[in-house]
Chains A and B, each alone.
Chain A
């Protein structure tokens, strides 16, 4: 039998602390504070501007200093030989549960199918660590989860060694089995009870070296894949809570309008299947036996509305306000020696495919909520619970919040609008409800990435770029979900000077120009408009980077250089340089293409990773005008190559998936998907109005290259591909057509659909579905 002992402990290797917990079977715990410290030390050699997620860690350390063991995350080994871990993050499709299972399997020497991951309920003591956003999940979990798993393995080894009376370093572990060369062996399950501790004691352990990884770094399929393809995976909408009947809401004709009067509530309540009707903050809720009957009920309501918060606003009025609010550029234009450009980015929806939904069971003395929440916990309070408790007039500890697996997020689930609304309805009706927004609600009343304008001026002389100024002006993005308070409260520690708002802080920390362009300034200004906004996958970067890369191409053209040759000359980031060189080869930069078809390149470093995207866009009329019923065609991205340096890639297969997803988001933002605001509301009401990338828009030829490890730390992956993909498509389009677009998406100018009426707020479902069977 092969020897699987680990190399003898190297006394100079860093040790990580944790606890053996008093429990019936083996359980270990690790505090975030200890583990985060370890992570910081390990990362000390990578110079990069701290990004928001690092700052959260900083804040956590301060908060956790006073809490020696209360913020534990724990791994348990059970008698059936499995290890369980309750993840304090939510899974919304980015494969976080798979990555964590891999970490546990790695350090515990356990097959991955013996690792059980569940989603933890809201846990106030975990503070900001229970937040899935900013692509920080995998990075911030990496050290603590491995530490807990390594401690569990160490305790199993100690237990076996004592039983067999052999030295610990002669006990090997593999696939959930402990063994000794004498032939003795035991499964983890058989020792789970014996290895348990009867009191909580502190212990330390060192972690596997990257070279010894057998699970991490290898392609791993999603652990929830079988449940998904068989339809067994339960999303929020699929959960059954006794008495929680379907519920939908009739909504106002403008954003955040309110109810003035309902004329026929009783008649609607008497409709077939309808059980309750209640006026709520932004509409009238209807509860019934089926969602279909709720739709019929809400459509039958006769309601008078009060105005909303942005009634007079349309695309043009918002744009005019943005233009007025632009911060001045400081360097005077120098005629032929400057490149100037201004780009407008339309409102975009962050709606996932699963409509916002939540189950609420509010009783006079307690409440229970089920919803997909990325921030069940605030830094100082539990926002979702606290807000809902405050709204309901209940003590916080009487409100239980369950985190449910989500059908996508893209920023939407950073907020708890739907959970709060479900609670309001349940309280008013005095019954449990399963609330779903309709698709049309999601687009028209749900949160959106706000319209913004990015103005850039670069000056150059004798082949050098002297200045690069970017002024980004945006309709306000709401961060009122806990990140805001966290950042503001640690503002004194931030490595930026001055008195910035939270949004400006996020902007400064997440943006940087990766080129040697002399004096660089990037500033953000926001105008306060009361749209329902929130960050969307990759927040500001897609817009800012798209504008930047288009200007880089313009500068290259002005200096008579090829876009890649120019970037090679001016790039200051070595990791970006490496991914660019790889993409140039893999994607065959400069290969001959017919007229009307062109390549474009986009580069972006963020979340401690670097990505290069090279696409080919076909803008020939026969492609642009290809017929698809009720679908936007337009230019087609025919080929895409993406290269990622993910620092320490934990799951190349998962990374590849995130790159493909980010690519399709970038294509949508560049070419097809936006919200058209008219008289206080978006016109979009379905996926045939809001044109996210479809099969007829996606490139038939996509290739992703994940570079071998370059650092010891996994980078973020969920968002990083969006910005460079958007930029690459925009640059390719400009080169194929000879015109740099100034408004995105490029088709925003014409409305490609007939909008649904604004009232009733949810359209009736068609009845002719059998006609389109195939």
Chain B
């Protein structure tokens, strides 16, 4: 057992848990933050996608000991606050396109989409079909087309 401190959705948190427990379980089982979903625990399905210092990553595949005190972890719950609003533009686009079916994959989809748009903007270019093809997040309900439309819409407003 040891103590781990990091910044979660804007607040500093400290948890006491074994070093090798993956961050996803620290978030879900200890801190009760359930936006990131468990879909595989193998860094494959991407339904747990969250942000570390603004970049998309999968907490199911990162031991809590690898998270530094200064690291800022953002889950879907903390996404709107990163833009100082009730909803992030990507979430609004998701609502307008009525993307969700069962919804289980969607927090992860949105977090991945935001990171993808940030990345392409930083590279000074628009989202392409190839960028969208490269998203690995599974949606077993098959909402892919609406996801593609929503990402383009959200990107225009970010």
Interface residues of A in 214-265 (CB under 8 A from B): 221-222, 224-235, 237-238, 240, 246
- With most chain B CB atoms within 10 A of its CB, the pick from A229, A240, A273 is A229
Query: Smallest distance from the beta carbon of B119 to chain A beta carbons, Å?
Result: 6
Q: How far is the CA of A662 from the CA of B144 in the complex (A)?
A: 11
Does A473 make an interface contact (CB < 8 A)? no
State the interface size on chain A (CB cutoff 8 A).
Answer: 77
Closest to A235 in B: B104
Q: Is the CB of A273 within 8 A of B43?
A: no
Min CB gap A121→B, angstroms: 21
Question: Would A766 and B42 count as touching, CB distance under 8 A?
Answer: yes
- Residues A233 and B44 in contact, CB atoms below 8 Å apart: no
Cα A663 to Cα B30 in complex, Å, equals: 39
Given contacts A663-B142, A765-B60, is CB(A657)–CB(B98) below 8 Å?
yes
Contact A407–B34 (Cβ < 8 Å): no
Q: Distance (Å) between the CB of B148 and the closest chain A CB?
A: 7
Contact B42 A765 (CB under 8 A): yes
> From A231, which residue of chain B is reached at the shortest CB distance?
B35
Other-chain contact of A353, B29, B105, B115, B133 (Cβ < 8 Å):
B105
A694 touches B (CB below 8 Å): yes
A18 on interface, CB distance cutoff 8 Å: no
A695 to B39, CA, bound (A): 17
A130 at the interface (CB under 8 A from B): no
B52 interface contact, C-beta 8 A: yes
Of B133, B140, B148, the residue contacting A408 (CB under 8 A) is B140
- Cβ contact within 8 Å between A657 and B29: no
The residue that A773 contacts in the complex, of B22, B52, B94, with Cβ under 8 A, is B52
B7 in the interface (beta carbon within 8 A): no
List of A residues within 8 angstroms of B98 by Cβ? 221-222, 225, 653, 657
From known contacts A660-B142, A662-B142, A694-B138, infer whether A407 and B102 are also in contact, taking CB-CB under 8 Å: yes
Residues of chain A lying within 8 A (CB to CB) of residue B115: 774
Whether the pair A769, B62 counts as a contact (CB closer than 8 A) is yes
**Is there contact, CB below 8 Å, between A692 and B140?**
yes
Which residues of the other chain, B, contact A774 by a CB distance below 8 angstroms? 55-56, 115-116, 119
User: Residue B13 at the A interface, CB < 8 A?
Assistant: no
Q: Given B17, B76, B100, B148, which contacts A225 in the complex, CB threshold below 8 Å? A: B100
Find A660's partner among B1, B57, B94, B145 (CB 8 Å cutoff). B145
Enumerate chain A residues within 8 angstroms of B144, measured Cβ to Cβ.
660, 664, 693-695, 698
Cross-chain contact B142 with A664 (CB below 8 angstroms): yes
- A766 interface neighbour in B25, B38, B43, B135, Cβ under 8 Å: B43
Q: Which of B21-40 contact A (CB under 8 A)?
A: 21-22, 24-26, 28-30, 32, 34-40
Q: Which of chain B's residues 124-158 have a Cβ closer than 8 Å to chain A?
A: 129, 132-148
Min CB distance B95 to A, Å, is 5
Given contacts A231-B77, A774-B55, A774-B116, contact A222 B100 (CB under 8 A): yes
- Asked if A660 contacts B37 (CB within 8 A), the reply is no
Shortest Cβ distance from residue A194 to the other chain B in the assembled complex, whole angstroms? 37
Residues of A within 8 A of B148 (CB): 695, 698, 700
A527 to B52 alpha-carbon distance, docked (Å): 52
On chain B, the residues within 8 Å of A439 by CB distance are 39-42, 44-45
The reply on B83 being an interface residue by CB < 8 A is no
Query: How many angstroms between the C-alpha atoms of A662 and B36 in the bound complex?
Result: 26
Q: Known contacts A228-B106, A237-B38, A665-B142; is A291 also within 8 Å of B58 by CB?
A: no
What CA separation (Å) do A151 and B103 show in the bound complex?
34
CA distance A408 to B77 in the complex (A): 22
Question: What residues of chain A lie closer than 8 Å to B101, measured between beta carbons?
Answer: 93-95, 408, 657, 661
Q: Are B42 and A773 in contact (CB under 8 A)?
A: no
B-side contacts of A582, CB under 8 Å: none
Whether A12 is near chain B, meaning CB under 8 Å from some CB there, is: no
Q: Determine whether B66 belongs to the interface, using a CB cutoff of 8 Å to chain A.
A: yes
A408 contacts B104, C-beta separation under 8 Å: yes
B45 touching A687, Cβ below 8 Å: yes
CA distance in complex: A64, B21 (Å): 53
Known contacts A225-B98, A353-B39, A700-B129; A408 and B141 CB within 8 A of each other: yes
User: Nearest Cβ distance between residue A635 and chain B, in whole angstroms?
Assistant: 14
* CA distance in complex: A293, B1 (Å): 12
What is the 8 Å Cβ interface bit string for chain B, positions 45-85, against chain A (1 contact, 0 not)? 10100001001111111110010000000011100100000
Which residues between 627 and 668 of chain A lie within 8 Å of chain B, taking CB atoms? 628, 630-631, 653, 657, 660-665
Closest to A406 in B: B102
Q: Using known A-B contacts A292-B25, A352-B102, determine if residue A687 contacts B41 with beta carbons closer than 8 Å.
A: no
Which residue of chain A is the closest to B53 with respect to CB atoms? Answer: A773
Name A407's contact: one of B30, B40, B103 (CB within 8 Å): B103
Indicate if the CB atoms of B142 and A693 lie closer than 8 Å. yes
**Interface status of B110 (Cβ within 8 A of chain A):** yes
Inter-chain CA distance A692–B87, complex, in Å, is: 31
Q: Is the CB of A770 within 8 A of B52?
A: yes
In the bound complex, CA of A292 to CA of B60 (Å): 9
Residue of B nearest to A765 (CB): B41
State how many angstroms separate the Cβ of A234 from the closest Cβ of chain B. 7
CB distance from A326 to the nearest CB of B (A): 33
With beta carbons under 8 angstroms apart, the residue of A661, A692, A769 that contacts B58 is: A769
| Interfacial chain B residues near A230, Cβ < 8 Å | 35, 76-77, 80, 87, 91
Question: Within the complex, what minimum Cβ distance (angstroms) separates A463 from chain B?
Answer: 40
**Minimum C-beta distance from B68 to chain A (A):** 11
**A228 with B22: CB separation less than 8 A:** no
Instruction: Give the residues in chain A near B66, CB-CB below 8 Å.
Output: 767, 770
CB proximity of B22 to chain A, nearest CB, Å: 5
Is A348 part of the contact surface with B, judged by Cβ < 8 Å?
no
Residues on A facing B (Cβ under 8 Å): 92-95, 221-222, 224-235, 237-238, 240, 246, 272-273, 289-293, 295-296, 351-355, 406-410, 436, 438-439, 628, 630-631, 653, 657, 660-665, 686-688, 692-696, 698-700, 702, 763, 765-770, 772-774
A-B contact pairs, 16 of them (CB 8 A): A93-B100, A221-B95, A222-B100, A225-B100, A227-B103, A229-B76, A229-B91, A292-B22, A355-B39, A657-B98, A660-B144, A687-B40, A695-B148, A765-B22, A766-B42, A770-B57
Closest A-B pairs by Cβ, 8 of them = A231-B35, A93-B102, A664-B142, A407-B104, A769-B61, A228-B103, A231-B76, A290-B25
Binding site for A on B (CB under 8 A): 1, 17-18, 20-22, 24-26, 28-30, 32, 34-45, 47, 52, 55-63, 66, 75-77, 80, 87, 91, 94-95, 98-107, 110, 115-116, 119, 129, 132-148
